[in-house]
């Protein structure tokens, strides 16, 4: 308790941005599930990010970087240490010819809308993918139409020692829903090179994809998007359906009846209930097909308080 207070007080004195304690993470995730963050900071700028990382490094405090919480399950006991909420920081967007420089806190939908408006094509694979640009790069988010890192030139980040670094695309060793970033680093900015195309065509592609997504995914209910990565040559949703698990319910959580790779929060679901369904889906798919499903979402925190 004394440690918690001193961390909060120290950060409060150092940072320009807000410092909160025991903030419920449920309201910061798409799932609307999760326990509290011991300390949550909203860095006001780059200097705040560096200062917070330095304190965490000096005091050996774990740091969780939070964007919009769209691809995350926070367990019911919450997250100890420091949660750095970047949803209100690094919101700049600048177009220059076929390049767009974009702050890490910008929403994927905003970047996509701007590129369409400026007749720049390439990012349509992000259609319907929620989240911030920083989070999207970390998970190399995308769809069958392409992933975000395909069009990335470079990212600027702050490493866990508080040093700024710039990495070119090839240094990220991007793969399907993964990339390699220095451990504990915070992405602050990214630069994309796109191609010119007819704005009407870009808009048409986006709206076709959105219609398809609305038909096939449970967009009207709280979820964390796809739970599992697609295994090579197959689809996690198809495998979960094949295992007969669509519609399976545990408390307030349910494997979506619409899409087998989604778990939805019907209201008041706990992380434990979601986790139970995840484990059940993995076990049944393994037993029926021999395929080991890998998580696409990030699971963070402790199952219970204390
Ligand atoms: N399918 C089933 N049963 C289901 C769900 C899907 O048989 O319950 C079959 C479909 O019929 C289709 C195939 O599986 O033949 C693929 O389904 P879908 O087109 O819905 O795409 P997906 O591979 O399940 C991927 C991304 C989604 C993205 C859609 C856009 C992954 C893990 N998922 O889903 O991304 O929105 O393409 O089409 O790559 C996310 O990352 O959070 C996410 C939702």
Strands (E), the chain: 19-24, 36-41, 63-66, 72-74, 79-85, 93-96, 99-103, 120-121, 142-143, 146-147, 152-158, 164-168, 186-193, 195-196, 222-223, 249-250, 253-255, 263-265, 298-300
Task: Indicate which CATH number applies to the domain containing 112.
Answer: 3.30.465.10
Same domain membership, residue 158 and residue 110: yes
State mean pLDDT over 111-115.
Answer: 96
Per-residue confidence (pLDDT) for residue 4, from 0 to 100: 53
Same domain membership, residue 176 and residue 133: yes
Same domain membership, residue 69 and residue 105: no
Alpha helix positions (H), 59-198: 108-117, 133-138
Q: How confident is the model at residue 242 (pLDDT cuts 50, 70, 90)?
A: very high
CA of 235 relative to ligand 1 center, distance in Å: 7
CA of 252 relative to ligand 1 center, distance in Å: 23
State mean pLDDT over 103-128.
Answer: 96
Q: Could you tell me what percent of the chain has a pLDDT over 70? A: 98
Please indicate, yes or no, if residue 209 is contained in any of the structural domains: no
Alpha helix positions (H), the chain: 2-14, 46-58, 108-117, 133-138, 199-216, 236-242, 271-289
Same domain membership, residue 253 and residue 185: no
Domain stop point among 171, 202, 233? 202
Domain stop point among 85, 117, 138? 85
Per-residue confidence (pLDDT) for residue 306, from 0 to 100: 63
What is the extent of the structural domain holding 296? 220-300
Per-residue confidence (pLDDT) for residue 144, from 0 to 100: 85
Q: How many domains does the chain have?
A: 3
CA of 136 relative to ligand 1 center, distance in Å: 17
Query: Residues 6 or more apart from 136 whose CB is under 8 A from it?
Result: 108, 126, 129, 148
Asked whether 215 lines ligand 1 (CB < 6 A), one says no
Same domain membership, residue 274 and residue 179: no
Q: How confident is the model at residue 304 (pLDDT cuts 50, 70, 90)?
A: confident
Q: pLDDT tens digits, residue range 134-162? A: 999 999 999 888 999 999 999 999 998 88
Task: Give the closest residue (by CA) to ligand 1 atom 7.
Answer: 238
């Amino acid at each position: 308790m004394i440690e918690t207070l001193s961390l909060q007080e120290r950060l409060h004195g150092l940072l320009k941005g807000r410092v909160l304690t025991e903030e419920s993470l449920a309201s910061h995730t798409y799932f609307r599930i999760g326990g509290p963050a011991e300390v949550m900071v909203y860095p006001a700028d780059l200097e705040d990010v560096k200062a917070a990382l330095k304190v965490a490094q000096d005091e050996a405090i774990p740091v969780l970087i939070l964007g919009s919480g769209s691809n995350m399950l926070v367990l019911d006991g919450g997250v100890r240490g420091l949660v750095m909420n970047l949803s209100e920081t690094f919101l700049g967007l600048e177009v220059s010819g076929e390049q767009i420089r974009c702050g890490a806190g910008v929403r994927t939908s905003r970047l996509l809308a701007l590129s369409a408006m400026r007749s720049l094509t390439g990012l349509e694979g992000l259609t319907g993918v929620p989240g911030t640009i920083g989070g999207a790069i970390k998970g190399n988010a995308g769809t069958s139409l392409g992933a975000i890192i395909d069009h990335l030139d470079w990212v600027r980040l702050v490493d866990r020692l508080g040093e700024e670094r710039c990495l070119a695309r090839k240094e990220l060793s991007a793969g399907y829903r993964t990339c390699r970033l220095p451990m504990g680093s915070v992405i602050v900015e990214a630069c994309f090179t796109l191609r010119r195309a007819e704005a009407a065509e870009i808009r048409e592609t986006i709206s076709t994809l959105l219609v398809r997504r609305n038909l096939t995914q449970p967009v009207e209910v709280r979820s964390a998007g796809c739970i599992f990565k697609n295994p090579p040559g197959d689809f996690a949703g198809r495998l979960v359906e094949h295992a007969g698990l669509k519609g399976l319910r545990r408390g307030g959580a349910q494997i979506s009846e619409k899409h087998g790779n989604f778990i939805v929060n019907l209201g008041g679901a706990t992380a434990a209930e979601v986790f139970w369904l995840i484990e059940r889906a993995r076990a049944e798919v393994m037993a029926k097909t021999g395929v080991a499903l890998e998580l696409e979402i990030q699971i963070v925190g402790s199952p219970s308080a204390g």
